[in-house]
Amino acid sequence: MQPSERLLQYVTFSTASNEAESSCPSSAGQLEFARFLCSQLQKLGLLDARVDRWGYVYASLPASEGCEKKRPLGFIAHMDTSPDAPGKGVQPMVWPNYDGKLLRLKNGTVLDPALLPQLSQMRGKTLITSSGDTLLGADDKAGIAEIMTMLERVITQNLPHPKLAVAFTPDEEIGRGADRFDLALFGAPVAYTVDGETPGVVEYETFNAASAVVTFCGVSVHPGAAKGVMKNAAALAAQFAQLLPQDQTPEKTEGRQGFFHLHHMEGTVEKATLEYLLRDHSDEGFCQRKQLLEKLVNQANALWGEGTVSVQITDTYYNMARVLQNHMDLVENALEVFAAQGLSGETQPVRGGTDGSKLSFLGLPCPNLPTGGHAFHGRCEYIAAEDMELCCQTLLGLVERAAR
């Protein structure tokens, strides 16, 4: 089976994670999908495949004869899809020999090469999109499809290989994918997450990440008698949002530039909250962002009255380059495989995080490999079948190198 064929099947499972739920997995659809994947792994011959109590899928393929002493190698992908766009009832559409022009999907969704520059590079390929009513789910079901296809080919073609460990995780999109990961059960000392985009790119740097909740306490009275008494928390929150650097937001930054991302707000006269994501690749910049937020809160309290504003900052994950700089052979191996595939091969920083961000700090170094998908987390998500095959060949190339 081709990886694209698997993807068309996998995206029909509704697996959006839900940050409002404390359970693991955070949605029932993820557990259903986990059980399905487990049965597929068992049918491939990975008889130890299992789903643990948290919805994580683990399986391993014993080393082939002569490779028993080679270093085991792992591959990881996540089962959940982003809650940022509808993910239920995905109806994938296939566009053979895409002409490189504007695509009109349902619900008014338009894939425009002028807004999605990499779309023009898909000319002549078999493009896969959603119907436009939902996201597609290539993030990260494409990664799962490519890992499953790689395993099938290793087995059916009797390819030499060390022990191969695979894991499919829940709730990566809400930052919990590595929280209950069982390193001992996984059984490999190094691994790759398969959760990136463009073929030929390996990623070993991520953001340092934190979340911040800024809370405003107001005083609510009748507006007719408000002079000198009312303290409008919602209005103060709006003023505060303007104090942060307006050129340091996601839509105005790129590469290794960090940002403050206001992603949720709500408020009344009596109480208001602003929820931010803080991101920076450098440790120094990360600290400075947190310090700036705290400084602005102190200044706001000096102006509006002590206790008016408070902030709670929680670190989420750290730049995995801190760990991977000591395991650059994993990156170099990927670059060599890309070269053998005729790809230019390059490294890029992730403007986000992966399960590998946390797993690397837990003792499992995990660079990130591409899936071929683009425009993740929205209705404009797309992937080419040919790029999925390229990414699958990358995995096979890494297995071949590990068996030498």
Residue 320 is encoded by which pair of tokens?
Answer: 């995995």
Q: How far apart are CA 293 and CA 282, in angstroms?
A: 17
Residue 116 is encoded by which pair of tokens?
Answer: 């999605």
Residue 264 is encoded by which pair of tokens?
Answer: 């949720």
Query: How far from the centroid of its chain's Cα atoms is residue 327's Cα?
Result: 22
Q: How far apart are CA 280 and CA 168, in angstroms?
A: 27
Q: State the Cα angle at 352 between 339 and 211, rounded to 5°.
A: 165
Host H or E run for residue 359: helix 355-361
Q: How far apart are CA 13 and CA 137, in angstroms?
A: 9
User: 226 by DSSP, 3-state: which?
Assistant: coil
Q: How far apart are CA 218 and CA 310, in angstroms?
A: 12
Kindly list the distances between the CA atom of residue 246 and the CA atoms of 143, 205, 292, in Å, as whole numbers in the listed order: 35, 25, 13
Residues shown for the chain: 404
Strands (E), 109-258: 110-111, 127-129, 164-169, 191-196, 201-205, 208-217
Catalytic residue of the set 139, 171, 172, 197: 172
Host H or E run for residue 278: strand 271-280
**172 classed as catalytic:** yes
Sign for the CA dihedral angle at 42, 47, 52, 56 comes to: negative
Quick one: angle between helices 3-10 and 385-402, nearest 10? 110
**140 classed as catalytic:** no
The residues annotated with a catalytic role in the active site are: 80, 172
